[in-house]
Amino acid sequence: MDPLLARLPSAFWSVPHVAARFPGSRDVRERPGLAAGANCQVFAYAVLRHFGLAAPALRSSDLWTDTRSTVRVGADAARPLDLMLFNAGDDAYGAHVGVRAGEGRVLHLCAEVGLPALWEDARFAERERYRVLVGVKRVTARHGSAGKSDRAAGEAY
C-alpha cells in the first residue's frame, strides 16, 4: 500500500458514500465527521485534514475557483494530497473530487463502489461521468498538527 495511505486510520476505509452529505448540507452541519457517511468532497477534505491541511469545505465548482486556500497546479505536477477534480466534461460544477496518492492513483469515495477506493488514473477515463480531469488543486493552508483538527472537532470516524 502507498506509504501515505497506510497512515490513514482504518476507519477511513469503511466510510459509506452518502450523496446527501456534501459540504454545507444540513446533515453535515448537524452531524459532522465521517461516521454517518460522506460524499466525495467531505471525504477528501477529511483525508487532507488528517494530514494537517486546512481544506476548505467547498463544493467542487467553488473549490475550482477558490484562491484563498488552494492553488491550481498542472496535472503533470500533481503530487500526493492534491485534490483531483473529474467530470464528464471540463466544467467543475458537479465534479467528483479525490485525493492524489502516489504513483498515479487517486483515493476517492464514489457511489459506484460505495466505500473509499484507490483507482489508477486510467479507471477514471474509462467512465463517462469521470472521463475528464477538470484539474488539480493544491491546498496551501495548514493546521497546527496532522490529525489534530478532526479529533479536536469531535469528529467520529
pLDDT of 111-138, one tens digit each? Answer: 999 999 999 999 999 999 999 999 999 9
The x, y and z cell numbers of residue 151, run together, are: 479529533
Nearest 5°: the CA angle 86, 92, 93 is 115
| Closest-CA residue to 63 (of 76, 48, 51, 77) | 48
Which pTM value belongs to this model? 0.89
Model confidence at 2, pLDDT cuts 50, 70, 90, reads: confident
Q: Which residues pair with 22 in a beta bridge?
A: none
The mean pLDDT of the chain is: 90
- Total residues belonging to the chain: 157
Distance CA 4, CA 125 (A): 24
User: Mean pLDDT across the stretch 70-86?
Assistant: 97
Of residues 145 and 41, the one with the higher pLDDT is 41
By the 8 A CB rule, do 110 and 43 touch?
Answer: no
Distance CA 149, CA 27 (A): 20
- Pinpoint the alpha helices (H) of the chain: 3-6, 26-30, 40-50, 60-65, 121-125, 148-152
pLDDT of 11-53, one tens digit each? Answer: 999 999 999 999 999 999 999 999 999 999 999 999 999 999 9
> Cα 28 from chain centroid?
15
